[in-house]
Structure 1
Amino acid sequence: MDLPPPSSMPPEELRAAMRALGYRTQADLAQAIGVSRSAVSLWLEGKIGVPRPVAMLLRMLIAAQRRAY
């Protein structure tokens, strides 16, 4: 039996990334990255995986933020 591929970013990491980047609501993050609020909601609930490009973008933003300080 084939298992689905692991999510590129688990919901807990997405929540932490939102906090680290200052996005207080799902709508804030959705608007910033150009997706629907419902997509963010599904990612946070673990119903669908965070697309790999989105995960990479958020990780790069966090890394850039850390270097800025």
Structure 2
Amino acid sequence: MAQDPRLASMSPDELRTHMRALGYRTQAELAEAIGVSRSAVSLWLEGKVGVPRPVAMLLRMLLQAQRRVF
């Protein structure tokens, strides 16, 4: 059985793309929206720490939900 792509890890570039697509212009905005520190977002974007799977899944689901809004 194929793994659900929403459960995959997220690269820094994908995180940046999702962040912008969801309307977050700064690391602080994204951090506040998902309840993490700005420094955590910075580490993810720099690729120093992997994006936690629950965060990756949340961002993918938010983006998918945003695309369904008319």
TM-score > 0.5 by shorter chain: yes
Q: Distance in 1 between matches of 2:12 and 2:45?
A: 5
Whether 2:66 is the aligned partner of 1:65: answer: yes
Deviations 1:24-49 (A, max 9, x none): 00000000000000000000000000
The offset of 1:65, in angstroms, is 0.5
The aligned residue for residue 40 of structure 1 is 41
Q: Distance in 2 between matches of 1:10 and 1:18?
A: 12
The aligned residue for residue 17 of structure 1 is 18
The aligned residue for residue 52 of structure 2 is 51
- Report 1 or 2 for greater relative contact order, CA contacts < 8 Å, sequence distance ≥ 6: 2
The code of the aligned residue for 2:11 comes to: P
Whether 2:40 is the aligned partner of 1:8: answer: no
Segments of 5+ residues of structure 2 without an aligned counterpart are 1-7
TM-score, normalization: structure 1?
Answer: 0.88
% identical aligned pairs: 81
RMSD, aligned CA: 1.0
Q: Distance in 1 between matches of 2:20 and 2:38?
A: 16
Runs of 4+ in 1 over 2 A off after TM superposition: none
